[in-house]
């Protein structure tokens, strides 16, 4: 007997190893599993290995259902509940950029004896996933599934208390999927239904489904007009979706061969975007003269070419549709040449979920968690995303959260009176946008680190009432930085504490250095005077002039006051500046005056001056000059009286709505300006903020690209550079946003959005859609009039409009490798203009309005 047990134990171990290997990319958490019970353990039905959730969350209590425990599998009989705190979060390690199926399961089972079904919110990172409301559902249990691609290597799932009842969770199941299977245009997908067409049968999960998707038999919903068919033969399921073979051996068809097969889809809410994945396989033996062919449509809109299911082999049709508030009906309709009715084996339906709030910058998150670990902090609300949503902002933090599409950054850290000890954590230097640091009233020791002075954004540091020693680093004595250090008795505040060299060495060194210094000073004075004289004669700055010394186009502040008539007329404003009308030598100019309190604005101001002083193109706004005098900073541009393109598309401010031919010319001129930045500059430039508000128009509606404050230069057309994402929400390249890799194709995406605006006159972002998504849904209707700006009243050549639209769609492709370069954009726009010119030439009296496309093309430089 002992010998048999000895053989059996290694065998069980081997089976466990094989199971574990098959579950790579799986996380299966039994929430609330007591520490007294074995973990991990094998669930009897699915053979999945479930583990306790204790190491993935820091809060909550353990519970066990009291009602019908025998009706549920073991992982769903225990639960974790959260009586304390507003938000409680699980933190899980995942693979960035990989598609995951996330399933959260909830079984109340009257675990608390109150028999009061809870209601609470479920968050995925900083965004609302769904609301769990068992009272409304009228059930004791529910589950939620979402397909989601994380943008970092951590995944946070949070339960948020919204009323009097207590949030709880029974199980969390994370499954890595094939990356080429479920693809969305944007956002994530919430499962509405996943069924297979059989009158009877149990739910199908792992191991029959390699991804552990749960397939439910149509069962009681099977219609009397349908017939159930099945086969004992094996059906090939080898495609990127891999539905289980046990699903595909079943199918439903209509009894009346001439009738359509109609399926009522589950409601996901009015106007939702639906993702459908229908799986077909022919499982009947057909006669020689039999044919099964049918169309598939959603609310009358055909989704694909006619389908002929393959014999014992899978065919999957995926499509995106919108119900637009009506009842959603999926119909399979027999074609005229078909002798057999339609069939369907399985169907998956999802609805899109918008997750608009970006997670906090992952480097800032890593830094703050490092600080948390370094000081062994255990603050109850330091769970989930540190910065967003704002109502769950971590205690002691403040963050920049002005644009939902841009990851927030930590700008303030207050750990005053937190009982922390040891040295000042080195991870503080990994918060590059930190403006305020308060570590007062603690027991910190060691020296004040030099790296604090290297955080350029830091304007306030409070280190008072600690046990710090040594001296204050020179870097912390810079202008504009407020440093508080009182109450550190061992900290030396004067130069007396610096080590002095021995006197007998110091005297000869000082004498030698003094002699050299005198000679050096005379030489420098001579060179400076000669350089000054040379500069006066030549009247131009040298190549190595610093920003502050570019005097050839530099104005004093008093001159700026005079040219704007004491800032009398405001013609525009931004987040950190005001724009005034002015006059220089009788010519009108626009004067952009920077706010004196804007640190970020200063960096952009400097970048713009440095760029505009070295680039010149007829389709880039010209810099007349600038002012840099103390805290007074101003940019003086050429005046462009017709404002910006955005005003003319909307007709705001009394601006005219421009016609199609002028829009094409503006599109071409903007493209010419961008091409110059991309290949005509040395080094090449990426604008990073291409949008209609930054395309200015002169008196003849000639386009000039403006606002270069966040432009970047780096090497080469195909080069990419890691950089913090910047730009305007809606125009930012999703690939750049996802990877932080900046390249010229990022401008191409933004330009494509601008082109879509010019074509449709639709807002870039609305509550329901992004402009590219809206155009994508309309393209299926193949009607250009539904897409074109109605203000154009049909005044355009249809070929020209189609070509421009196809170009805009190509520019906004989510994959940068599929986007054209600007030279290709220019060539295509010339073709669009040629079509439009042909139309106007054929209309009497319109010849004079033809667009001259040869005016500016000679100014496009080759790559240098």
Distance from C-alpha of 77 to C-alpha of 63, rounded to nearest angstrom: 9
Pair of tokens at residue 21: 């290997």
Distance from C-alpha of 549 to C-alpha of 527, rounded to nearest angstrom: 17
Distance from C-alpha of 146 to C-alpha of 155, rounded to nearest angstrom: 13
Helix runs in 53-152, H state only: 134-137
Residues ≥6 apart with Cβ < 8 Å to 20: 49
Are 252 and 222 contacting, i.e. CB atoms less than 8 angstroms apart?
yes
Closest to 81 measured CA to CA, from 98, 96, 65, 68:
65
Are 645 and 813 contacting, i.e. CB atoms less than 8 angstroms apart?
no
Closest to 444 measured CA to CA, from 378, 375, 501:
375
Pair of tokens at residue 168: 């709880």
* CA quadruple 368, 372, 378, 384: dihedral sign: positive
SS3 call for 507 = helix
Closest to 813 measured CA to CA, from 775, 769, 758, 765:
775
Strands (E), 213-312: 216-217, 226-230, 250-254, 261-264, 273-280, 294-298, 301-302
Site of tokens 């726009």: 829
Pairing outcome for strands 188-196 and 216-217: parallel
Strands (E), 354-432: 397-400, 409-414, 421-422
Are 603 and 544 contacting, i.e. CB atoms less than 8 angstroms apart?
no
Distance from C-alpha of 855 to C-alpha of 851, rounded to nearest angstrom: 10
* CA quadruple 434, 440, 445, 447: dihedral sign: positive
Cis peptide leading into residue 710 (ω within 30°): no
**181-209 per-residue burial string, b: 16 or more CB within 10 A, e: under 16:** bbebbebbbbbbebbbbbbebeebbbeeb
Count of CB atoms situated within 10 Å of the CB of 522: 10
Are 580 and 567 contacting, i.e. CB atoms less than 8 angstroms apart?
yes
Distance from C-alpha of 105 to C-alpha of 87, rounded to nearest angstrom: 18
Give 120's DSSP letter.
E
Pair of tokens at residue 626: 């600038």
602 phi/psi in degrees, rounded to 5 = -65, -45
Closest to 660 measured CA to CA, from 860, 752, 798, 780:
798
Distance from C-alpha of 516 to C-alpha of 524, rounded to nearest angstrom: 12
Distances (CA, A) of 125 to 91, 167, 263: 9, 17, 35
* CA quadruple 382, 386, 392, 395: dihedral sign: positive
Distances (CA, A) of 682 to 217, 325, 676, 679, 713: 64, 53, 10, 8, 8
Is 689 labeled as catalytic in the residue annotation? yes
Count of CB atoms situated within 10 Å of the CB of 329: 15
Question: Which of these is catalytic: 689, 707, 733, 747?
Answer: 689
90 phi/psi in degrees, rounded to 5 = -85, 140
* CA quadruple 383, 389, 392, 393: dihedral sign: positive
The CA-to-CA distance between both ends of the chain, in Å, stands at 84
Q: What share of the chain is helix, strand, coil (3-state, %, to 5)?
A: 30, 25, 45
Catalytic residues: 689
């Amino acid at each position: 007997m002992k010998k048999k047990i000895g053989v059996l134990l290694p065998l069980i171990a081997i089976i466990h190893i094989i199971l574990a290997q098959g579950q790579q990319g799986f996380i299966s958490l039994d929430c609330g599993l007591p520490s007294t019970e074995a973990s991990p353990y094998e669930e009897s039905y699915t053979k999945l290995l479930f583990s306790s959730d204790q190491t993935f969350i820091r809060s909550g209590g353990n519970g066990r259902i009291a009602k019908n425990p025998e009706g549920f599998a073991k992982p769903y009989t225990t639960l974790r509940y959260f009586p304390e705190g507003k938000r409680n979060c699980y933190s899980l390690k995942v693979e960035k950029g990989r598609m995951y199926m996330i399933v959260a399961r909830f079984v109340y089972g009257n675990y608390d004896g109150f028999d009061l079904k809870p209601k609470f919110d479920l968050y995925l990172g900083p965004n609302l996933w769904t609301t769990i409301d068992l009272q409304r559902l009228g059930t004791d249990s529910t589950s939620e599934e979402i397909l989601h691609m994380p943008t970092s290597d951590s995944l946070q799932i949070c339960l948020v208390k919204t009323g009097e009842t207590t949030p709880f969770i029974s199980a969390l199941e994370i499954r890595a999927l094939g990356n080429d299977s479920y693809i969305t245009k944007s956002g994530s997908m919430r499962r509405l239904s996943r069924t297979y067409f059989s009158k009877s049968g149990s739910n199908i999960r792992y191991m029959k489904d390699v991804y552990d998707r749960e397939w439910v038999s149509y069962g009681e919903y099977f219609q009397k007009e349908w017939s159930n068919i099945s086969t004992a033969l094996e059906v090939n399921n080898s495609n990127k979706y891999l539905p289980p073979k046990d699903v595909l051996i079943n199918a439903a068809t209509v009894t009346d061969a001439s009738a359509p097969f109609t399926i009522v889809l589950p409601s996901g809410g009015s106007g939702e975007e639906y993702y459908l994945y229908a799986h077909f396989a022919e499982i009947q033996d057909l006669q020689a003269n039999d044919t099964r062919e049918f169309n598939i449509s959603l609310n009358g809109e055909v989704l694909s070419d006619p389908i002929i299911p393959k014999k014992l082999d899978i065919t999957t049709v995926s499509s995106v549709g919108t119900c637009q508030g009506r009842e959603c009906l999926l119909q399979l309709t027999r074609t005229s040449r078909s002798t057999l009715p339609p069939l369907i084996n399985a169907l998956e339906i999802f609805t899109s979920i918008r997750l608009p709030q970006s997670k906090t910058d992952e480097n800032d998150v890593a830094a703050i968690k490092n600080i948390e670990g370094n000081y062994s902090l255990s603050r109850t609300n330091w769970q989930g995303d540190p910065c967003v949503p704002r109502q769950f902002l971590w205690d002691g933090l403040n963050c920049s959260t002005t644009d939902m599409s841009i990851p927030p950054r930590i700008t303030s850290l207050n750990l005053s009176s937190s009982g922390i000890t040891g040295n000042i954590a080195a991870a503080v230097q990994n918060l590059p946008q930190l403006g305020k640091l308060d570590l007062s009233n603690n027991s910190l020791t060691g020296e004040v680190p030099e790296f604090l002075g290297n955080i350029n954004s830091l304007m306030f540091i409070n280190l008072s009432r600690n046990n710090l020693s040594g001296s204050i680093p020179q870097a912390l004595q810079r202008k504009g930085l407020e440093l508080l250090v009182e109450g550190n008795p061992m900290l030396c505040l004067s130069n007396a504490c610096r080590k002095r060299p021995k006197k007998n060495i110091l005297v000869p060194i000082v004498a030698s250095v003094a002699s050299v210094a005198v000679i050096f000073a005379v030489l420098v004075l001579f060179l400076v005077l000669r350089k000054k004289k040379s500069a006066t004669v030549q009247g131009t700055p040298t190549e190595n002039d610093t920003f502050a010394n570019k005097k050839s186009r530099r104005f004093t502040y008093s001159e700026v006051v005079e040219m704007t008539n004491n800032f009398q007329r405001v013609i525009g404003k931004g987040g950190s500046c005001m724009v005034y009308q002015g006059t220089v030598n009788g010519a009108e100019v626009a004067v952009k005056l920077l706010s004196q309190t804007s640190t970020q604005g200063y960096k952009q101001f400097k970048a713009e001056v440095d760029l505009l002083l070295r680039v010149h193109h007829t389709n880039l706004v010209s810099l007349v000059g600038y002012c840099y005098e103390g805290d007074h900073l101003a940019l003086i541009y050429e005046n462009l009286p017709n404002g910006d393109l955005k005003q003319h598309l909307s007709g705001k401010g009394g601006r005219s709505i421009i016609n199609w031919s002028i829009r094409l010319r503006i599109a071409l001129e903007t493209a010419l300006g961008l091409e110059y930045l991309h290949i005509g500059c040395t080094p090449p430039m990426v604008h990073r903020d291409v949008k209609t508000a930054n395309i200015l128009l002169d008196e003849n509606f000639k386009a000039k690209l403006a606002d270069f404050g966040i432009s970047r230069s780096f090497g080469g057309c195909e080069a990419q550079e890691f950089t913090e994402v910047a730009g305007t929400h809606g125009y930012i390249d999703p690939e750049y946003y996802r990877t932080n890799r900046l390249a010229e194709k990022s401008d191409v995406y933004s330009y494509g959005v601008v082109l879509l605006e010019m074509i449709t006159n639709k807002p870039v972002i609305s509550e329901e859609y992004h402009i590219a998504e809206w155009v994508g849904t309309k393209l299926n209707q193949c009607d250009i009039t539904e897409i074109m700006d109605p203000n154009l009243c049909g005044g355009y050549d249809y070929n020209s409009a189609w070509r421009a639209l196809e170009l805009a769609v190509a520019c906004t492709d989510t994959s940068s490798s599929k986007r054209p370069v600007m030279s290709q954009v220019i060539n295509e726009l010339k073709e669009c203009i040629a079509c439009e010119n042909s139309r106007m030439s054929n209309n009497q009296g319109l010849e004079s309005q033809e667009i001259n496309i040869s005016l500016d093309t000679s100014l496009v430089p080759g790559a240098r």
